[in-house]
Structure 1
């Protein structure tokens, strides 16, 4: 049984992890604490090299890692200045192992769940189609929750990608959020979206649910525990009522 949840902030993002922790406290039977950035408070000397080894080199190449000196130096700088990191996809399982090794012995018990909210894009390899897939979270210990993954992992409406490409051809830049929202039908989240914190709540709860019950996700689209593959479904699950299906409302609804 999970007795304590420790959430780690992601200060280079708009995610308010303290607010996520407040939301979680009302729904789980565990103590919920908040700490500063995991990659700061649990930094080890080998983390730059381990992030370098976790780099995805190609969408269709299972092998990861580039340990050239320049890459390791980049990872060192990214740890020191996270706002300068970007555009790199990491093997979420490799990152999880690295962060697990950084946990202190006294906090390794599975009664304590660590949730590292990250400013990195993470992915997992799909054996079924032979390619990498971006993820919002990787469940386990510690659980990883990727803020960039919230924007990038679920598929957006096709018109979104068409408008983004058209704008880039004309201006050389990515279109502002308001341009995309005005010209593309359908709902989706984009970088620094003000709904980020609210949407992340369900993904942190998924991490708790997995360690507590051994079950990964819910198959019902109206539930916070649903693993959405499209932005429309993400918004339906995380930002609209009801919060939970009947089964999981009995476990997690505040008035249950």
Structure 2
């Protein structure tokens, strides 16, 4: 692989330049940063295509709602990304519609595109019949969801225990901000100052997959590990060592 292009997520707490600098120090490829993917490659068809890959129900495989109001929402969200939120998109279908917009001359696997995205993406689980939020979707282009970093991994057990206690006392679900302030533990929250550091490993996973065909590492203390719980994310991305012994040989420079 000769080149990696990273696209900014301007409304998210992710410093694309810092991620690119770190990545460039660990891989043998030229790393460049471009503006937001959805701004660079927006066209008249994009809002309706985005609407067509919306997840409608966490337990229904079928996606998409292209009613006029939904398409108008997507138009506004493309133009003003700070207005987007509360929607999950089929990550694999979103990847396909992004891929069609990459210029033909840049689609080679020698040039990886990594889209830092300010939207939540998911993949369907045939094993349990529901959608699962994801931090990244590997491939060309790779998608790294910034809100997915906060929402996809499960929180510590204490978080859900506090949620249940609050519901028993009040009959209502507590605001997320209340739980984040009450519960001690290793988990990341929206606009967490550790966001950029944590995302470095997820971007490297995109490179590693295209370069080697290996999706993730089984070792919990490795940037290439893909844990399903927040304490595991903290362990893999925010604590030493950066890599397991096997991957340290490839990426520690």
TM value normalised by structure 1: 0.93
1:161 to partner: Cα distance: 3.5
Give the match for residue 150 of structure 2: 151
- Structure 1: runs of 5 or more not aligned: none
In 2, the alpha carbon distance for the partners of 1:152 and 1:14 equals 14
Give the match for residue 234 of structure 2: 235
SS in 1 for 2:12: coil
CA-to-aligned-CA distance 1:109-155 (integer Å, 9 cap, x gap) = 11000000000000000111111000000000000000000000000
Change (3 A) 1:215 1:222: same
In 2, the alpha carbon distance for the partners of 1:30 and 1:141 equals 16
1:181 to partner: Cα distance: 5.0
In 2, the alpha carbon distance for the partners of 1:240 and 1:84 equals 34
In 1, the alpha carbon distance for the partners of 2:65 and 2:108 equals 32
Give the match for residue 93 of structure 2: 94
Q: Which runs of 4+ in 1 moved over 3 A?
A: 161-165, 167-173, 179-182
Give the match for residue 222 of structure 2: 223
Change (3 A) 1:76 1:14: same
Give the match for residue 174 of structure 1: 175
Give the match for residue 11 of structure 1: 10
Change (3 A) 1:57 1:175: closer
Change (3 A) 1:222 1:58: same
Q: Contact 2:205 / 2:216 at 8 angstroms: preserved in 1?
A: yes
In 1, the alpha carbon distance for the partners of 2:210 and 2:198 equals 20
In 2, the alpha carbon distance for the partners of 1:140 and 1:53 equals 21
In 2, the alpha carbon distance for the partners of 1:172 and 1:231 equals 21
Q: How many correspondences in the alignment?
A: 251
Q: Contact 2:180 / 2:189 at 8 angstroms: preserved in 1?
A: no
* RMSD after superposition: 1.8
- Structure 2: runs of 5 or more not aligned: none
Give the match for residue 52 of structure 2: 53
Give the match for residue 112 of structure 1: 111
1:43 to partner: Cα distance: 1.4
TM value normalised by structure 2: 0.95
